[in-house]
A and B are shown apart, each in its own frame.
Chain A
Amino acid sequence: MDTPLAELKNLILRIADVEDIKKAVGKALSSEVGSDEVFNSLGEALEEVGKKYERGEYFLSELMMVGLLATEIVEMVKPHQDRSTKTLGKVIIGTVKGDIHDIGKNIVIMMLQAARFEVIDLGIDIPAERFVEAVENEDAAVLGMSALLVSTVDEMKNVMEELEKKGLRDKVRVVVGGRPVTKEFAEDIGADGYAEDAIEAVKVVKGLVKE
């Protein structure tokens, strides 16, 4: 018989009915599994889903649905969290100006929330000034920028320049991602991190926050 955590993980991977998942979360918590272990198990499930997606075994809608389940599980677990458990930090995220694609960004948001980050979602088609304004006003650890079009990716450079101009560059760590974004581009524009996919984005953000 599966342990409560293993059962929960299997239900997530099967994109089971939300009522079954609620029961499994309840079972895990009442079997003296701490909220931290539930979050860890959730993280493992998300990582596995990410790998299956990369291999073509899971489709985009499944990746999105698992991300959504993850945020729902986070809400289920929150009332049971130890008082000492805080969020790991605040992340501002948006899609750059001229780009209206947001599915990838939204998956990253769901996974960051599942990993206990607080996320400020600026939305799509965001000009440099709005990113900078958010960095100024929010006490965020990380700024994440997403682009799906080759023609919009240079907007990330504009944001970096604006942050420098306003003296805010050192206030926040910057992570970039999206289909046309490469590690080399990220280095060229002076970003602190680059993520090829949503799973890696969470790892990179966690790493930057720890530094």
Chain B
Amino acid sequence: MDSRERVIRALESEEPDRVPITEIDLEVPVMEKINGEIFPVATSLQTQVVADRKLEEKKNKFKIECYKRVGFDLLVVDLSAPETWKPSIKPDGTMIDLWGRTLRLDKQAKAWVPYGTIFSTPEDLDDFEFPDPEAPGWMFSTEYSRSLVKDSLGLATFIRDPFAHAWEMLTPMKFVPWMYRERKFIDSLMKKLTEFNIEIITRISEMGADFIISGGDYCEEMGPMAPTRFFKESIFPNLRKQVEAAHKNHLKLIKHTDGNLNPILDDLANIVDGIHSLDPTARMDIGDVKLKYGNKLLLIGNVSVDSLAKKSRIEVVEETKECIKQASPGGGHILSSSNSWAGGAKLENCLAMVETGKRYGTYPLMHMR
């Protein structure tokens, strides 16, 4: 069975030949170790920073090469920058992205790191040229990657959730007081970002992606980042519209979020088609979620990134086996870490997770009994 079919079966809550395996992203230094090759350009896990299409092609090829070497079944790509966008680099070397975020370069991690915003007041957005979802180019990575991998890998496109996007775009230190004092403005911004996503979702479906992952956190270790009332009034209605748009275009929408989702899990499970992360260090028990929502939700996760960074290989193997035992029966599971492979993770442990998935994730799961 090829990887794409494996992923699609899991997405349809069926048992493929074995549990599919993926990571939503790998930091550049990790990919360099795997590929045995230096990647020449800094990237970002949070926003579009590469305008040069040749470099974008190189970036995608580099990632595909890495995913194939590891033996992942699902490739996850971001939106590309629209064709007309050029990075705005200030004299001090920092960058302003499409969304008004200020970024600085971490040369060691080869990553553009967001640290601020150009917006000082809500009125600043009146003069801001909001990115146009109909502009050509957003789908470059999706289309290019699909043309390269064809059916050999599943493909998911990563978009940014409007709440998380607004939170990041304004920075938390502005979003939060405006959430209390300029609620209409915050709701209006999230609505605009939702409308952006709905248009983008239509285009994703045209480019051959198998599903959508909506990134950006709703929760942190202690629980939801905002009161549950705010989720019900402002976040979930927007999320529902995006899911409806995805379904209309024959796509499923999986929600990524770190943190402890338990206080909002029932509501979230009734809207989305799956959840990624399910961080065990944030009180998320993938077995419990499987029991309650396994017939409805695709679960992607949940070997702890802390384990990948700090534990022994044997401990990671055991944790991976337990994850499979809890989440994989009956399908509807894609094995991954509880976030992504960052530079601090031990590569040996990361690869052990994949190896264990292949060894113990074959259906029927005899080894798990």
Distance to closest chain A CB from B312 (angstroms)? 14
Chain A contacts for B230, CB-based, 8 A: 61
Q: Produce 1/0 per residue, B294-305, CB < 8 A to A.
A: 000000000001
A152 CB contacts on chain B under 8 angstroms: 344
B223 A151 Cβ-Cβ under 8 A: no
Contacts of A125 in B (CB 8 A): 104, 106, 113, 115
B177 touching A106 by the CB < 8 A rule? no
Instruction: Kindly supply a per-residue 1/0 record for chain A positions 55-76, scoring 1 wherever the CB is within 8 Å of any chain B CB and 0 otherwise.
Output: 0100111101100100000000
Residues of B within 8 A of A62 (CB): 227
CA distance A56 to B176 in the complex (A): 18
Q: In the bound complex, how far is the Cα of B108 from the Cα of A89, in angstroms?
A: 35
Distance in angstroms between the alpha carbons of A59 and B179 in the assembled complex: 13
- Contact mask for chain A residues 168-207; partner B; CB cutoff 8 A; 1 contact, 0 none: 0000000000011000000000000000000000000000
Chain A: interface size category: 20 to 34
A17, A53, A100: the one contacting B222 at CB < 8 Å is A53
A59 touching B225 by the CB < 8 A rule? yes
Tell me, yes or no, whether A98 is within 8 Å of chain B by CB.
yes
- The CA of A103 and the CA of B226, in the complex, are separated in Å by 13
- Roughly how many angstroms separate A54 CA and B109 CA in the complex, as a whole number? 33
Are B176 and A65 in contact (CB-based, < 8 A)?
Answer: yes
Chain B residues with Cβ under 8 A from A15's Cβ?
180
Q: Render B94-127 as a binary contact track against A, CB cut-off 8 A, 1 for contact.
A: 0000000000101011000111000000000000
Choose from A18, A54, A56, A59 the contact partner of B181 (Cβ within 8 Å).
Answer: A18
Query: Is A88 located at the chain interface by the 8 A CB criterion?
Result: no
Interchain CB contact under 8 A, A65 and B310: no
Residue pair A61, B222 in contact (C-beta under 8 Å): no
- On chain B, the residues within 8 Å of A26 by CB distance are none
- Output the least CB separation between B307 and chain A (Å): 9
A53 to B104, CA, bound (A): 32
Let me know if A64 and B344 touch, CB within 8 A. no
Q: Which residues of the other chain, A, contact B306 by a CB distance below 8 angstroms?
A: 150, 180
Which A residues, 28 to 60, have Cβ-Cβ distances below 8 Å to chain B?
53-54, 56, 59-60
The chain B residue sitting closest to A124, CB to CB, is B115
Kindly state whether residue B220 has any CB partner on chain A within 8 Å. Answer: yes
Q: A100-B113, A125-B106, A151-B344 are in contact. Are A68 and B263 (CB under 8 A)?
A: no
Any B CB within 8 A of the CB of A140: no
B189 proximal to A (CB < 8 A): no
Write out the residue numbers on chain A whose beta carbons fall within 8 Å of the beta carbon of B109.
98
In the complex the two chains form, is B309's CB within 8 Å of A150's CB? yes
B106 (CB) vs chain A CBs: closest residue: A125
Return the chain A residue nearest B104 by Cβ.
Answer: A125
Q: How far is the CA of A179 from the CA of B283 in the complex (A)?
A: 14
The smallest C-beta distance from B304 to any residue of chain A, in angstroms, reads 9
C-alpha spacing A199/B134, complex, angstroms: 47
Cβ of B224 within 8 Å of any chain A Cβ, yes or no, is yes
Rounded to whole angstroms, the CA-CA distance of A53 and B222 in the bound complex is: 8
Q: Known: A53-B222, A54-B222, A179-B221. Contact between A68 and B177, CB under 8 A?
A: yes
**Binary per-residue interface labels of chain B (216-240) against chain A in the complex, 1 for a CB within 8 Å, 0 otherwise:** 0000111111111010000000000
* In the assembled complex, A149 has its CB within 8 A of some CB on chain B: yes
Residue from B106, B113, B180, B224 in contact with A59 in the complex, judged by beta carbons closer than 8 Å? B224
A71 to B176, CA, bound (A): 14
Is B113's CB under 8 angstroms from A60's CB? no
Q: What is the bound-complex CA distance between A48 and B86, given in angstroms?
A: 48
Residues of chain A within 8 A (CB-CB) of B71 are: none
Q: Which residue of B lies closest to A149 (CB)?
A: B344
B25 to chain A, nearest CB (A): 15
Taking a contact as CB atoms under 8 Å apart, the answer to whether A123 and B225 are in contact is no
Whether A61 contacts B225 by the Cβ 8 Å rule is yes
Point out the residues of chain A lying under 8 angstroms from B220, CB to CB: 60, 103
A180, B181: Cα distance in complex, Å:
33
Q: Are B225 and A60 in contact (CB under 8 A)?
A: yes
Point out the residues of chain B lying under 8 angstroms from A100, CB to CB: 113-115
B223 in contact with A59 (CB, 8 Å):
yes
Is B343 an interface residue when CB atoms closer than 8 A count as contact? yes
Closest residue on chain B to residue A17 by CB atoms: B181
Given contacts A64-B172, A98-B106, contact A123 B115 (CB under 8 A): yes
- Among the listed A64, A149, A150, which residue makes an inter-chain contact with B176, where contact means beta carbons less than 8 Å apart? A64
B226 interface neighbour in A53, A54, A59, A179, Cβ under 8 Å: A59
A residues 67-99 near B (Cβ < 8 Å) are 68, 97-98
Going nearest first, the 6 A-B pairs with the smallest beta carbon separation are A151-B344, A150-B306, A150-B309, A61-B226, A60-B225, A151-B309
Mind listing 10 A-B residue pairs with CB under 8 Å?
Answer: A59-B228, A60-B223, A60-B226, A61-B226, A64-B173, A65-B180, A68-B173, A98-B106, A102-B172, A124-B115
Q: Assuming A59-B227, A65-B176, A150-B310, what are 11 further A-B pairs, CB within 8 angstroms?
A: A54-B222, A59-B224, A61-B179, A64-B173, A65-B177, A98-B109, A150-B305, A150-B306, A150-B344, A151-B343, A152-B344
Residues of A within 8 A of B (CB): 15, 17-18, 53-54, 56, 59-62, 64-65, 68, 97-98, 100, 102-103, 106, 123-125, 149-152, 179-180
